[in-house]
Amino acid sequence: MKCADFEVLLCDYLDGTLDADQRHAVEEHQRECSSCAEFARDVMGAVAFMERAETIDAPPELLTRITFEIPSGSKSKKGDWRSLFGGWLQPVLQPRFAMGMAMTILSFSMIGRMAGIPQRPLQAADLEPTRIWSAIDTRAHRAYDRLVKYVDNLRLVYEIQNRLGEWSAQEEQASAEQGRKNRRVEPAIPAVTPDERENGK
């Protein structure tokens, strides 16, 4: 069984809806893979925490107030903050958006765990806007610095390639000139026959 299959079957395993073979395969993989075993412990802890939470009955006056606050379709007063931002915030305030965000965070944490990124428990200080902005700013600056370094390295490589090309062209030109010089025909020395030698004496 692969880790991805384990994650798919983990919810059904915790609910007790798997058949015997699948349950045995999940337990076997959990014994063999330490990261999946740790992930299963985390999920079991989260489920146990949710099961320990008490069910709270809403007070009747809260239900009355909610019913009273629901817009009746008539236009709200000018200056009411809901009339200004209600249209923009309406999709964000939907339960499916909150559930989607929770699933996105869970997916990123699972990807991070599978990629081997060290994780630590989330603390209240991590949610401070200044700390979040500082982390984003630091990452943006690091990414920009990496890009600048990459461009500078590209320039250096391009310059080296140009210089090497010029040097090889000069070398080829010099070797071609040397070959031309070697190929020049030197004036031939006239051959002297033995008769001419005797006459010259």
- Alpha-helical runs (H) found in 53-128: 60-69, 81-89, 95-115
Which pair of structure tokens corresponds to residue 50? 């949710």
Tell me, what amino acid is at 78?
A: K
Mean pLDDT of all residues belonging to the chain: 76
b/e string for 2-27 if b means 16 or more Cβ within 10 A? eeeebbebbeebeeeebeeeeeebbe
Higher pLDDT, 80 or 124: 124
Predicted confidence (pLDDT) per residue in 140-165, tens digit: 888 888 888 888 888 888 888 888 88
Cβ(11)–Cβ(5) below 8 Å: no
Which pair of structure tokens corresponds to residue 198? 């005797």
Measure the CA angle with vertex 123, ends 120 and 124; round to 5°: 165
Rg (alpha carbons) of the chain, rounded to whole number: 40
pTM to 2 decimals?
Answer: 0.29
H or E, element range at 1: none
Cβ(72)–Cβ(42) below 8 Å: no
First to last CA, the chain: 109
Report pLDDT for 93.
67
Higher pLDDT, 138 or 124: 138
Report pLDDT for 62.
76
Residue 188's pLDDT band (cuts 50, 70, 90): low
Fill in the DSSP letter of residue 10: H
Residue 14's pLDDT band (cuts 50, 70, 90): confident
Rounded to an integer, what distance in angstroms lies between the CA atom of residue 40 and that of residue 27? 10
Predicted confidence (pLDDT) per residue in 62-99, tens digit: 777 777 777 655 544 545 555 665 566 666 667 777 78
C-alpha distance from residue 127 to each of 28, 30, 119, 123 (Å) = 38, 33, 16, 7
Higher pLDDT, 180 or 184: 180
